[in-house]
Amino acid sequence: MRPRSRDSSGETATHIKSKAIVKTSLQKIRAVADVNRDVYIIGMSSTLVKTDDSRVPAESTAFRSFWMGGFECSTHRLPRRKAMRDFAGVRLDLIAATRHDEFALQDYARLQSAGIRTVRDGVRWYLIEKSRYRYDFSSLEPMLHAARETKTQVIWDLFHYGWPDGINIWGAAFVERFARFARATAEVILEETGAPIYVVPVNEISFVAWGGGDAGFLNPWAKGRGPELKAQLVRAAIAAIEAVREVDPSARICHAEPIIHIAVDPDHPEEAAAAEGYRQSQFQALDMIGGRMCRELGGRPEYLDLIGVNYYSNNQWIHQDPDTPPSRRRKDVLLFPSHPLHRPVREMLREAYDRYRRPLFIAETGIEGDARPSWLRYIGQEARVAAAAGVELEGLCLYPIVDYPGWGDNRHCYAGLWDYADDEGRREIYEPLAGELTHQQHLWDIQRRDHRAIEERINMDKLDEAARQVDVAATKSRTKRRE
């Protein structure tokens, strides 16, 4: 290999070029946020949408089943901060914490029995590459065997918030390391399960860029570097896509990004442009991957294959100027489902589909507690109406599909269809959610057969209260990780 040239500072020419590319990209990202746009606010619609018969939803053309389940697979490190106490600096591994690594065969079989033949799961980079370019796939192989034995189609997250110790995520070497890891992983998956393989290169680029680059509660715990981290993760995702497709040209590339809505504060209509600029930033990661912006990062339209959107109860809020003193800030910023400024999820799905014109799937959605059945009814209805209006919706993923311990406090998060596993791999099912899932599957079948989207009464009070509780818990957790 020909040696690369270095400047007097010791940086390679490749690294210098990468820095210049990222700097240019950051300028463009920040400029987009300043664009003056009219804010779009709409109340909850109760209109029955007539199905467009020309776009009748099939079970799924991209996936083995429309209904999916996702296993929480975060592997990031928690900050070394006093407020974290015993959790300071701890490496999370939610696959191990939920014992899914021990009982993948039983877990996949359980999903099959519930009519779920497609799942989201994770590849744990930190376990596989413990030293540079040396890979040990013993943590992944049992899961691959379980998928093959149960005929389960798995969408593998290659990066779910965490990376091996000793890698500088800000450096150009991070992109190269990740690409080589992605190639090696693709080879193993392909050999075990056959083509096409399904991967999410980088899960939730937008969330990691905000949480880890601006808010400082997620690794790498930076502040004021969100655009830089977003550009870096986009470069890594593009490199991984190219590496995976070298191994399997038929590979399906899935993306999983949050969809959000931000309404202008009714008391400050002059902030409409800022609110809309922030709202539009939700599309930056996919726009960059697809070559719509910051083309110097290497994005191309064909890198956008299957678009996954993640939606939770705290994905909508009222814009607050960050320069406003805390004493003057609005306390009630959450747009819970019945709030008059809440935007119907069906319209958010429509906007994402119209923007990219790619098959769409709801890659994550769920809520904690006894509101789980009501949440599924709500999201299922929004999905049916969106599909009836012509959105090419290919799937809906219950996430997480099993309960999990909370980040940094180990509390039992009752969010799944199944509970923690016992020593034999048995998990107790949450019957109310199981019943609602069966009902929603039936309604989806009716829509496919009769070309009509059925809308039902939903307990919005229960959803509102659950949304408030989730928001309080999330805010408390983020605050703790910042301190």
Split at pLDDT 50, 70, 90, the class of 328 is confident
| Sign of the dihedral defined by the CA atoms of residues 260, 261, 262, 267, in that order | negative
Does residue 19 form part of some domain? no
Q: Is 428 helix (H, G, I), strand (E, B) or coil?
A: strand
C-alpha–C-alpha distance, residues 135 and 148, integer Å: 22
| Residue 189 neighbours by CB under 8 Å, 6+ apart | 144, 156, 197, 199
What is the structure's pLDDT at 57? 42
Q: Is 148 helix (H, G, I), strand (E, B) or coil?
A: helix
| Buried residues in 118-136 as b, exposed as e (16+ CB within 10 A) | bbbbbbbbbbbbeeeeebe
Split at pLDDT 50, 70, 90, the class of 331 is confident
Span 143-167, mean pLDDT? 98
| Residue 75 neighbours by CB under 8 Å, 6+ apart | 91, 92, 93, 94, 95, 122, 124, 125, 126, 160, 161, 162
Q: Is the pLDDT of residue 206 over 90?
A: yes
Nearest partner of 116 among 440, 469, 476, 482, judged by Cα: 440
What is the structure's pLDDT at 49? 33
272: amino acid identity, one letter = A
What is the extent of the structural domain holding 58?
38-482
Span 437-448, mean pLDDT? 94
Instruction: Identify whether the C-beta of residue 421 lies closer than 8 Å to the C-beta of residue 427.
Output: yes
Residue 199: CATH number of its domain: 3.20.20.80
C-alpha–C-alpha distance, residues 75 and 126, integer Å: 8
What is the structure's pLDDT at 27? 58
Q: Is the pLDDT of residue 28 over 90?
A: no
C-alpha–C-alpha distance, residues 196 and 154, integer Å: 11
* pLDDT tens string 109-152: 999 999 999 999 999 999 999 999 999 999 999 999 999 999 99
Say how many domains are in the chain.
1
Q: Is the pLDDT of residue 324 over 90?
A: no
Q: Is 125 helix (H, G, I), strand (E, B) or coil?
A: helix
Average pLDDT over the chain, rounded to an integer: 89
Q: Is the pLDDT of residue 330 over 80?
A: yes
Q: Is the pLDDT of residue 3 over 50?
A: no
Does residue 378 form part of some domain? yes
Nearest partner of 343 among 276, 391, 390, 254, judged by Cα: 276
What is the structure's pLDDT at 453? 86
Q: Is the pLDDT of residue 478 over 70?
A: no
In this prediction, what percent of the chain has a pLDDT beyond 90? 79
Does residue 333 form part of some domain? yes
Does residue 68 form part of some domain? yes
Does residue 23 form part of some domain? no
* pLDDT tens string 82-91: 888 889 999 9
* pLDDT tens string 48-65: 333 333 333 446 789 999
C-alpha–C-alpha distance, residues 416 and 376, integer Å: 11
Tokens of 470: 């989730």
| Least confident window among 40-54, 172-186, 407-421 | 40-54
Does residue 26 form part of some domain? no
Q: Is the pLDDT of residue 40 over 80?
A: no
Q: Supply the DSSP string of 62-96, one letter for each residue.
A: SSS-SEEEE-----PBPP--GGGGGGTTPBP-HHH
Nearest partner of 477 among 42, 84, 34, judged by Cα: 84
Does residue 10 form part of some domain? no
Does residue 426 form part of some domain? yes
Nearest partner of 128 among 79, 99, 167, judged by Cα: 167
What is the structure's pLDDT at 477? 73
